Amino acid sequence: MMDCKKALAECGGNAEEAAEWLRKKGLSGADKKSGRIAAEGAVVRYIHPGSRLGVLLEVNCETDFVAASDAFQKLVNELGMIIAATDCICVNPEDVPEEVLAKEREVELGKDDLSKKPEAIRTKIVEGRLDKIRNQMALTNQMTLSNPDKTVAEMVKETIAAVGENIKIRRFIKYRLGEGIEKKSNDFAAEVAQQTQAKAPAPPKVEEPKKEEPKKEAKPLVAVAASVVKTLRDATGAGMMDCKKALAECEGDMAKATEWLRMKGLAGADKKAGRIAAEGVVASYIHPGSRLGVLLEVNCETDFVAASEKFNQLVNYIAMGIVAGQNVQYVSADEIPAEVFEREKQLEMAREDLKGKPEAIRAKIAEGRAKKIAQEMCLLDQPFLTDNSKTVADAIKEAIAAIGEKISVRRFVKFQLGEGLEKKSNDFAAEVAAVTGQK
């Protein structure tokens, strides 16, 4: 109220000028707050309709009170949509990776309009163009959706002025479904030629006389009630005829029939491992409290399966499992860099309990421990969220058997609010001493 009164007095009662005066006053205050530590805030996500594009974002403020405010939540939600709608790859212009700039520099230097210019001028023009590219790639320089005349940096400053705390966009990542995956092309001419070649008559084979083998007694068929078949089908997701056959083979034993179907399905799942899976979903999970979030891409072969309830339920359980596994960093053991494994091995070698042992035994024990740690880092080796008796890899294989398509977890990222940030500690005794000393 007092600020508004002062603004109107300063601007001769002109409401528009007073509003601008207040805005400038607020932005000035926002600059003063930029040095404060902001380690609270929220991890948020934006998944574009269709689940083919997703964003995970961390924005920090100073207190959890402001993090829960409408002004802060409005800001972070709009930021997620802006990231999805633009080609930005980093928060600030200075964050653009050097390898990206090097590639752009090479492209610009090779353009025809600069070929006849002196070297010094070419370099100057190219650096000017790179500055423009740098700005285009930065989130803070993007125009906001709510006001196309305002940049993200200005929107953040205005929110700082409104809430009275420092706010910083710390990091974000964007996944686009199937980017970089080779998709199957339907070359019908090639398929016809391949089929024609396959159907060409083969040279006649000389058949050897068959040895007579003792005839096996036919297994008596077991009558299976339709209601029992339906129960097995509901429990496993397998086809009706497969369930009927499983029960017949296992003499009506539900547990054995389930295992029979599982083994049959896993064998089929292994055969599908070579197929190309470029459809699927980009999904996310934000743990209650918005302090921990996951973005992941899970692929299948068709958009029909990607829209199915069974597939999406699997994806959701995998996402929650990533949050539950504190050390999970990689999809599979193949992704763990050799230097990471070697570092863990050396750390284990240096432990006190191994110091008195011979070198060869120490190395063997350390390697075993390092392998166990590596297993804890891999998503596919984690216990499945709803059934700890099987791993995530087992659950995916069972889903492949039930759905009939290849399914693979391609990538994921996990953000934990404030990890690595220095947090402010309230040492009231030190504060009182400091104030007393000043006086």
pLDDT in tens, 6-27: 888 988 888 878 777 666 666 5
Q: What is the pLDDT of residue 75?
A: 97
Categorize the per-residue pLDDT at 136 as very low, low, confident or very high, splitting at 50, 70 and 90. very high
Q: Mean of the pLDDT values across residues 40-46?
A: 96
Q: Cβ contacts of residue 83 below 8 Å, gap of 6+?
A: 46, 55, 57, 139, 172, 174
- How confident is the model over 402-419, as pLDDT tens digits? 888 899 999 999 999 998
Range name among 194-203, 219-228, 246-255, 279-288 with the lowest pLDDT average: 194-203
Question: Between 2 and 251, where is the model more confident?
Answer: 251
Structure tokens at 6: 């002062």
Contact between 56 and 172 under an 8 Å Cβ cutoff? The reply is: yes
Report the C-alpha dihedral over residues 162, 163, 165, 168, rounded to 10 degrees: -80
In which residue ranges of the chain is CATH 3.30.479.20 found? 278-336+378-418
- How confident is the model over 180-237, as pLDDT tens digits? 876 655 555 554 555 555 455 556 656 666 556 555 555 555 677 888 887 877 676 5
Report the Cα 235 to chain-centroid distance in Å.
30
C-alpha separations of 135 from 22, 31, 131, 150, 155 in Å: 28, 21, 6, 15, 17
Q: Cα separation of 143 and 41, whole Å?
A: 23
Q: Cβ contacts of residue 328 below 8 Å, gap of 6+?
A: 321, 322, 376, 377, 378, 379, 382, 414
DSSP 13: T
Q: Mean of the pLDDT values across residues 316-343?
A: 91
Q: What is the mean pLDDT of the chain?
A: 83
Question: Between 303 and 355, where is the model more confident?
Answer: 303
Domain 278-336+378-418 classification at class level: alpha beta
Q: What is the pLDDT of residue 311?
A: 96
Structure tokens at 98: 């050097």
Q: Mean of the pLDDT values across residues 339-349?
A: 87
Structure tokens at 63: 């207190």
Q: What is the pLDDT of residue 228?
A: 83
Statement: 221-276 belongs to CATH 1.10.8.10:
yes
